[in-house]
Structure 1
Amino acid sequence: EHNENSASESMRTDLNGWTYNCIWESEWWYSAFRNVTAMVGAGVLGLPFAMSQLRWSAGICAMFGSWMITLYSLCQLVELREVVPGKRFDRYPELGQHAFGKKYGYWFIMPQQMTVQVASDIVYMVTGRKSLKKFFELVLPAVMSPLRHIYFIFIFAAVHIVLSQTPNSNSLRGVSVLAAVMSLCYSMIAFVASTIKGSHHHPVSYGVRSHTTAGKILDSFNALAAVAFSFGHSVVLEIQATIPWSPEVPSKQPMWRGSLVAYAIVALCYFSVSISGFRAFGSLGDDDILISLEK
């Protein structure tokens, strides 16, 4: 067992008998930028809109509460991965089978994981389509502007199909670093632009968006859903699975260090964008802060 754990690469077999390639050569900073990449996505651009639905006090409380809850749940997952001496639960179904039994654990976890995955895929396909279309309209307006939206979805999907053929997540290390840097950059662009826009003292309303009881309730639930979506972390075990592990030096220590750094960056991105965006546009903002900035 010790020789297997000391190896940098091995073939793992999970509780269902499926074999997959596993490489343990990541450091704590790899887990930091991978967690940033996994969390800071398109959802951050909609946080000012969610703030406008909840307003200042409730919005900040919802943001901080979600940040604390997800940080605590991540801590629990990091601890549970090596809760059984000599075993590693590298994927959620494995942990589910340990908790609920081999027969029911897999089918208890997998539908939930698939629901999250499919929903995330839909959101990012739509967001990727919008981003690609906007990019090509700026670079090649005469050629790309007439194209229908479906073609940009195909382009976005084709790139991800190619990337998915890599043997493991370590093969995408460079892509993860680039994605983390880009996530931080566009969050800071939204923050700085919103701060400048908010300093112009243009008329802004911080009142409610809806004036009926049903509308206020619906806005509140929509905002809470947007905040919860933004703070999701669905690949924690898979990220930790790339960190070297041994009975003497568990992987939870570097994983926890990287997660704290990642959550500090997440807090910087999320709170800066949501507060500056809501301050600049109030209840008149769109569901994407970049669209609001274009007006």
Structure 2
Amino acid sequence: MVGAGVLSLPYAMSELGWGAGICVLVLSWVITLYTLWQMVEMHEMVKGKRFDRYHELGQHAFGEKLGLYIVVPQQLTVEVSTCIVYMVTGGKSLQKAHEMFCNDCQPIMLTYWIMIFASIHFFLSHLPNFNSLAGVSFLAAAMSLTYSTIAWIASLKKGIQEGVSDVQYSSRASSKAGEVFNFFNALGDVAFAYAGHNVVLEIQATIPSTPEKPSKGPMMKGVIVAYIVVALCYFPVGFIGYYVFGNSVDDNILISLERPQWIVGLANIFVVIHVIGGYQIFAIPVFDMIETFLVKQLEWKPTSWLRFSVRTIYVGLTMFIAMCIPFFGGLLGFFGGFALAPTSYYLPCIMWLTIYKPKKFGLSWWANWVCIIIGVFLTILAPIGGLRTIIISAKNYKMFS
């Protein structure tokens, strides 16, 4: 649940300001916990049947064909975009760690660091399923908690003793229009941080279930623990990072930190380990969809060569796109609104209303419609801000540099 998006939360706070920033972070935590609970509940709503994939739940809610057309494109966009962002994150974190541990070394281009990070996935992508990633996933979870803690403690250690007047909390933009677009981008940054919904049903599918002990029991316990950890990571990093650096914070808080040098370098290594696991968690459902389509629809033979080709080409493509547009903050803003807001903020609510049909103007009806309205606004506004941020960043960027 704790993704690399946590690193951009101080930057999002600097674009939102204290009041709006606190409201958006807390409200997003509440809304996405609510929609995650809905998905866990809907996993086994039909007796004797489990909806092990997001699109299967969509088909039950909207119909066989319409469900596929609504859910699959969104889910694929989320998973592919997250893999691209994690490629950029892994490359940048490796680059920062290299700078921290080797001050006198010759700088290495970001493009090469992304390629180094991708080389790990050319191997890991051939593991068979989620369960074979249990060790990597556990290590990634531990790393996310560790580097998040380092991020806010190291920020607090730096403090503002160098001069309170040096820290500014005014708008980052020089114009009113820029301020508005930055606000939109920040909404997408926050939305990207809450990205676990897209694989939650696949994860729940791995939990044994009986009529006496349905999977939603242990799954919901896991969700509660995960969201407590999310709160312990997200809120301190977002609030303390912004308090210490103000509007000068980078789109990745660990890039802003310089001291203590060895701890900052170590934290970036932890980020790399985390996004290695995170990349695979989001890539495996994509592999499954592509291979199923090729075998069932195009009638290709399910050979080991097909599996090898699909996975290798996918890793290569995400690596290439990451090398072309390595703009962490802009990518998070754009994909956070365009891809993650629908699947995390309001698609579960639409399914809930469609399937359960709660009493009109009742508590459940209002709760779902409020989430839907907020999510739709995110989907419309955040990509605009994210795209503008990417365009501005691209002005001074030399391809493959």
- 5+ residue gaps, structure 1: 1-38
- The answer for the alignment partner of 1:230 in structure 2 is 193
Deviations 1:62-121 (A, max 9, x none): 000100111011000001110110001111111111111112211221110111112111
Question: 2:180 matched to 1:209?
Answer: no
* Residues 256 and 206 of structure 1: CA distance in aligned 2, closer, same or farther (over 3 Å): same
Give the residue type in structure 1 aligned to 2:243.
Answer: R
Deviations 1:149-176 (A, max 9, x none): 3332222223223222222211111111
Range 208-217 or range 277-286, more displaced:
208-217
8 A Cα contact 1:49 1:287, kept in partner = yes
State the Cα distance separating 1:210 from its structure 2 match.
2.0
Aligned with residue 70 of structure 2, among 102, 108, 115: 108
Aligned with residue 267 of structure 1, among 231, 242, 249: 231
| Partner Cα separation in structure 1 for residue 27 and residue 47 of structure 2 | 33
* Residues 284 and 140 of structure 1: CA distance in aligned 2, closer, same or farther (over 3 Å): closer
- The answer for the alignment partner of 1:79 in structure 2 is 41
- The answer for the alignment partner of 2:221 in structure 1 is 257
Correspondences of 1:74-153 after superposition (within 5 Å): 74-137=36-99, 145=106, 147-153=108-114
- The answer for the alignment partner of 2:135 in structure 1 is 174
Between Structure 1 and Structure 2, the one with more helix by share is 2
Question: 2:28 matched to 1:66?
Answer: yes
Correspondences of 1:20-31 after superposition (within 5 Å): none
| Partner Cα separation in structure 1 for residue 176 and residue 240 of structure 2 | 28
Give the residue type in structure 2 aligned to 1:43.
Answer: G
- RMSD in angstroms over aligned alpha carbons? 1.8
- The answer for the alignment partner of 1:285 in structure 2 is 249
Q: Percent identity?
A: 57
Compute the TM-score of the two structures, normalised by the length of structure 1. Answer: 0.82
| Partner Cα separation in structure 1 for residue 111 and residue 175 of structure 2 | 37
| Partner Cα separation in structure 2 for residue 204 and residue 62 of structure 1 | 22
Deviations 1:21-43 (A, max 9, x none): xxxxxxxxxxxxxxxxxx32221
8 A Cα contact 2:44 2:51, kept in partner = yes
For this pair of structures, how many residues does the alignment match? 256
8 A Cα contact 1:198 1:276, kept in partner = no
* Residues 275 and 139 of structure 1: CA distance in aligned 2, closer, same or farther (over 3 Å): closer
| Partner Cα separation in structure 2 for residue 261 and residue 227 of structure 1 | 20
Of structures 1 and 2, the one scoring higher in RCO (CA 8 A, sep 6+) is 1
Correspondences of 1:24-63 after superposition (within 5 Å): 39-63=1-25
Range 271-280 or range 147-156, more displaced:
147-156
* Residues 165 and 142 of structure 1: CA distance in aligned 2, closer, same or farther (over 3 Å): farther
8 A Cα contact 2:14 2:169, kept in partner = yes
State the Cα distance separating 1:232 from its structure 2 match.
1.7
Compute the TM-score of the two structures, normalised by the length of structure 2. Answer: 0.61
- The answer for the alignment partner of 1:218 in structure 2 is 181
